[in-house]
Amino acid sequence: MSKAQPSNASHSPVTRYFRANDPHWHWLEDADAPEVRAFLEAANAQHAAWFTPLEPLANSLYDGHLARRELAITGLETALDHFTFYSETGAADDYPRWWRYPNGQPTQRECFFDLPKRAAGHDFFDIGDMALPPDEQWLAWTEDTQGDERFALWLKRLPDGEPQRLLDDIGPSLCWAEDQTAHGATLLFTRFDATQRPDSIWRLPLSWRDGTISSDTPARMFLESDAEFWVGIGKTRSKAWLLIESASKDTSEIHALPAQAPEATLECLHPRNPGVEASIEHRPGAFYRLHNQAGPHFQLDAISEAHALAGRADAHNAWQTLLAHRQDATLEGVDAFAWGLVVAERDHQDAQVYLRRLVLHDAPSETPLITLDEHLALPETPCSQLLEDAPHFATTTLRLREESFTQPPRWVELDLPTGERRVVKTQPLYGDLQPEQLVSRQIWAQSADGEQVPVSIVMRADLANRVENGQPLPTLLYGYGAYGEPLDPWFSIARLELLARGVAFAVAHVRGGGERGEPWYLNGKMAHKENSFHDFLAARDALVERGISDARRIVAVGASAGGMLIGTCINRAPNAFCAAVLDVPFLDVLRTMQNPDLPLTTAEYSEWGNPEDPDVATRMAAYSPLDNVTAQTYPALWIEGNWFDTRVGYWEPAKFYARVSQCQQGDAPILLHTDMDSGHGGASGRFKAWRDAARQDAFILWALGITSR
């Protein structure tokens, strides 16, 4: 690695704030030091000055985006046991208002939660969770007004009781027990340890009389002492059981207690076994377990409730196999209903998720358990088809959300007895670029080890004809590749502004993601992380070789762990891209993973490895973007960080900006912008988020040589 030197530009913040005794810029990690904020503000000023000529383009992108979408939105109505709930977002509002009416009486509508009013006066505002007790007459919620993902707990009587702040510094998730009486109920929540790891589940007994709220001291129900494990709380759709899950990236442990008796003793339904992940669902008389103990692609088993509660849940022969492990598909999730199960199943070959409906007997027995096994029909392939929340255990109508790279989201109600599909809502789309004017395709790129990597592309249909005639397109290439998260097809209205200007949008489905099931994830993590970088560069090359992308006009884009993917690739192949966008990027991999006091670090050992092992440290050092910045010609870089980010410290993008600025051998700009009011997810209000996206897109278009409005 070349020795870092200050930038030659005397006006650069990097020149002014460089410290010869700290060439790696570690001093930026001290958030309390005034010079840290001064450096970030100086970089923001440099960024703003450079961007000034592009402001008209950014405004045009922003205005075009707003013109294409429905700004006043009424959400779908959902009937619970007593009331029907829905949200409305005003055309000028950042946040929705929530409404309800007694079931079957829509004329008695009342607004019970006004988020624009609550958000007023806050630069950042985010709701972590909203939860209703069984009688649906109270609302508990968690809110974050800083962006650091530390939440306050609030409670109010519906519809217009005075909100009462009950607790501070807790996790976002809430869950009511089913023990409600006329005068109280029990609310469950999570708390953090010193590294902001959700390490405990707490029970909060609440009492109310005549709208007056009182609470007892919270009681801890569960504590997870292993620093690699996080805890969470949920309730089965049957409302019979509360489930407490403690899980690392590759191991699960699940306990249950009766939802009507939250003070009862926990029952372990799935004991901890290193490397074994599981999820649990329930129907009266039976528990269902999705797990990878029999193989990496998961299988589905059932056990009688009596056997599970008699302490036999950890006995292998007590479980009956419903869906056996297969080599060609991964079972990704299971939802239980009175009549059976819906299983999400990902086909490895075509990288497509299918929803599989299983109609079951009432409980495990000697007779065959499955009486019907069918896949739900897809409107097209590839597409995303998701099961929306279904609060009623006995419902025979499923609400599905469907979208693709070319089709905006629509919501469909599927009546299971008749098979009838009814579209209940489609996201409106206005303007000059409609779904029929777009085309999506998939190609396969050969990676360094011979693996075939899927690459999705969407473009204007008329430009697809030009590609066939040898006229490649400027291209945005997006990647993520971590935690097994798949980049399934999704529609974006903001993306239309780029497509309308002749840009192709491509997604590299690299290993480390989950697009081709569990094997795809496992072959892109830990010791196999190098595959992710090879795959992304192979995707770039395949786009050029197929004549889709102009080799001189490709911008790489990634966020968070995807920012690490992009950072590594531009270090290794800076000439492959004309520019890159790194949004809240994880760049200081080795140093961050060597600090167990930081949020997330210990929980990430099973994703990246523990650098206390010298071999792991060597492996990380080989790809960690900050450890591999060298004197070379870098492409133009747009680097984003957020001051309150607890997942990726603001100093990671800041240090990368400083190091690359010092080593830059060309004249392409290296730009850093730090949002001083946000956390990892960026702006909380939709209009600010859209404007931030328009500014990124203006940079992308500038880099691609498309600056006309």
CA distance 612 to 623: 17
CA dist 144 to 149, 189, 678, Å? 6, 15, 11
pLDDT at residue 3, as a whole number? 34
pLDDT at residue 684, as a whole number? 86
User: CA angle, 62 as apex, 114 and 706 as ends, to 5°?
Assistant: 160
pLDDT tens figures, 55-84: 999 999 999 999 999 999 999 999 999 999
Cα dihedral sign, 312-318-322-326? positive
For residue 674, pLDDT beyond 50: yes
Per-residue pLDDT band for 512 (boundaries 50, 70, 90) equals very high
**Model confidence pTM above 0.85:** yes
For residue 537, pLDDT beyond 90: yes
pLDDT tens figures, 247-265: 999 999 999 999 999 999 9
Give the count of alpha carbons within 13 A of 345, CB side only: 22
Distance of CA 551 to the CA centre of its chain: 31
Per-residue pLDDT band for 369 (boundaries 50, 70, 90) equals confident
State the amino acid at position 245 in one-letter form.
Answer: E
Buried-exposed string 273-286: b where 16+ CB fall within 10 A, e elsewhere: eeebbbbbbbbeeb
pLDDT tens figures, 423-458: 999 999 999 999 999 999 999 999 999 999 999 999
Place of tokens 């996080």: 230
pLDDT tens figures, 86-98: 999 999 999 999 9
- Radius of gyration (Cα) for the chain, nearest Å? 26
Please provide the DSSP assignment of 476-537 as one string. Answer: EEEE---TT--------HHHHHHHHTT-EEEEE--BTBSTT-HHHHHTTSGGGTHHHHHHHH
pLDDT at residue 8, as a whole number? 42
For residue 238, pLDDT beyond 70: yes
**Mean pLDDT of all residues in the chain?**
94
